[in-house]
């Protein structure tokens, strides 16, 4: 993608169409409210419109969007005085927010209940398919920390899922 001064409306529309569903689902996983997720999604894309951003390729776009959406949602939750454990009201979830078939499991619920630092690395590793080195770069953490956080998250998820399957 070109810098914002040379970016056309068509370039932005193509970027938006490629990623808006992903950004919305990510924001919804944090905000747990359709209205808040829509606001955050819009604000992430406004940052692209108003910023002088250059993306090397679609992978770079997605990484930037992931980090921007996570950070924006965390900041909003702090300013709202809310936590990531607020209850999810199913009526708030519009059709578009419905996760893919595999996401309708206890696994997604368990992932969303993880502490934010663990949830971020699990989401980026398993849902985005990013290697630990890229996650470390995106989050500003050492790769060994990311690997340790993945190990810790797997342990928590194993325990939670074993309890729910009894």
Domain check: are 82 and 2 in the same one?
Answer: yes
Domain check: are 45 and 110 in the same one?
Answer: no
CB atoms within 10 A of CB 139: 19
Q: How does DSSP assign 44-90, residue by residue? A: HHHHHHHS----SSHHHHHHHHHHHHHHHHHHHHHHHT--TTSPP-G
- Choosing from 98, 117, 134, the residue where a domain stops is 98
**Host domain of residue 119:** 99-166
99 token code pair? 């996760």
Q: Radius of gyration over alpha carbons of the chain, in Å?
A: 16
15 token code pair? 């970027």
**103 CB burial (10 A radius; 0-12, 13-18, 19+):** middle
Domain check: are 78 and 147 in the same one?
Answer: no
Domain check: are 72 and 112 in the same one?
Answer: no
User: Can you give the pLDDT at residue 155?
Assistant: 92
Domain check: are 89 and 114 in the same one?
Answer: no
Residue 158 is part of a domain; what is its CATH number?
A: 1.10.10.10
User: Can you give the pLDDT at residue 87?
Assistant: 39
Domain check: are 8 and 44 in the same one?
Answer: yes
Q: List Cα–Cα distances, 108 to 10, 13, 99, 114, in angstroms.
A: 35, 30, 9, 10
- Domains of the chain: total: 2
Residue 49 is part of a domain; what is its CATH number?
A: 1.10.1740
Domain check: are 88 and 120 in the same one?
Answer: no
pLDDT by position in tens, the chain (length 166): 444 445 678 888 888 999 988 899 888 888 888 889 899 999 999 998 888 788 888 888 888 898 889 889 888 888 877 544 443 444 444 444 444 444 445 777 788 788 888 988 888 888 777 889 888 888 889 999 999 999 999 999 989 888 877 7
Of 17, 25, 16, 12, nearest to 128 (Cα)? 25
**30 CB burial (10 A radius; 0-12, 13-18, 19+):** buried
């Amino acid at each position: 993608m070109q810098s914002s001064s040379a970016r056309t409306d068509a370039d932005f529309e193509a970027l938006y169409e490629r990623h808006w569903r992903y950004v919305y689902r990510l924001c919804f996983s944090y905000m747990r409210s359709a209205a808040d997720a829509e606001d955050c999604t819009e604000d992430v894309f406004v940052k692209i419109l108003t910023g002088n951003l250059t993306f090397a390729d679609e992978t770079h776009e997605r990484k930037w969007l992931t980090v921007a959406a996570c950070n924006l949602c965390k900041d909003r939750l702090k300013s709202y005085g809310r936590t990531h454990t607020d209850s999810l009201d199913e009526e708030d979830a519009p059709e578009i927010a419905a996760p893919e078939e595999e996401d309708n499991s206890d696994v997604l619920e368990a992932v969303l209940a993880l502490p934010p630092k663990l949830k971020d690395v699990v989401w980026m590793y398993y849902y985005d398919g990013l290697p630990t080195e890229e996650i470390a770069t995106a989050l500003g953490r050492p790769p060994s920390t990311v690997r340790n956080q993945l190990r810790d998250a797997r342990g928590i998820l194993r325990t939670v899922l074993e309890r729910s399957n009894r």
